[in-house]
Amino acid sequence: MSRTRYPGVYKNKSNGRFFYNIELGVDKITGKRIQKKGSRTNNGEPFLTARAAHKEATRIRGEYHDVHQYKNYNMTYGQFMKDIYLPIYKGNVEESTWQSRKSVFKIITNRFSDKKLREITVEDCELFRVFLLNESGYSKSFSSMVYSTFRRSLEKGVNLQYIDANPSMRTKAIPKGKAVVPYWTKEEFEKVISAMCIENFHEHMSFVMLWLYYTTGMRVSEGLALTWSDVDLGKKSLRIHGTLEWVSGEYRVKPYTKTKSSQRIISLDNDTIYILTKWKERQLKHGVTQFIMSCSEKPLVRSTVNGLVNRYSKLAKVKRIQAKGLRHSHASYLINQHNIDVLVISRRLGHSSPEITLKHYAHLWSRNDEVVADAITGDIEINPANKSLIEFYGNQHVEK
Q: What confidence score (pLDDT) does residue 388 get?
A: 81
β-pairing verdict for 237-240 and 231-232 = antiparallel
pLDDT at 228: 96
**Residues 6+ away with beta carbon under 8 Å from 126:** 171
- Interatomic CA distance for residues 397 and 73, integer angstroms: 79
Output 121 or 358, whichever has higher pLDDT.
121
Q: Is 33 helix (H, G, I), strand (E, B) or coil?
A: strand
Least confident of 198-207, 312-321, 339-348, 360-369: 360-369
Grade residue 13 by pLDDT with cuts at 50, 70 and 90: confident
d(CA 328, CA 322): 10
Question: What is the side-by-side order of every strand in the sheet holding 33-38?
Answer: 2-3, 9-11, 18-26, 33-38
- Domains, the chain, in order of start with CATH, read 2-68 (no CATH), 77-170 (1.10.150), 186-338 (1.10.443.10)
Query: Tell me: the pLDDT tens digits for 136-170?
Result: 999 888 999 999 999 999 999 988 878 888 999 99
What pLDDT digit, counting tens, does each position of 204-215 carry?
999 999 999 999
| pLDDT tens by residue, 48-71 | 899 999 888 888 877 776 655 545
Higher pLDDT, 240 or 339: 240
pLDDT tens string 91-131:
888 777 888 899 999 999 999 999 999 899 999 999 999 99
Q: Is the pLDDT of residue 367 over 90?
A: no
Query: If you average pLDDT over every residue of the chain, what do you get?
Result: 87
Mean pLDDT of 315-324: 94
pLDDT at residue 366, as a whole number: 61
Distance from the Cα of residue 228 to its chain's centroid? 28
Q: State the Cα–Cα distance between residues 300 and 315, nearest whole angstrom.
A: 21
pLDDT of residue 72: 61
Instruction: Categorize the per-residue pLDDT at 34 as very low, low, confident or very high, splitting at 50, 70 and 90.
Output: confident
pLDDT at 377: 87
Residue, of 368 and 380, whose pLDDT is higher:
380
pLDDT of residue 216: 96
Considering the entire predicted model, what is its pTM? 0.65
Whether the CB-CB separation of 311 and 184 falls below 8 Å is answered with no
Q: What's the confidence (pLDDT) of residue 247?
A: 64
Q: Is the pLDDT of residue 396 over 60?
A: no
DSSP E strand boundaries for the chain: 2-3, 9-11, 18-26, 33-38, 231-232, 237-240, 243-247, 250-254, 264-267
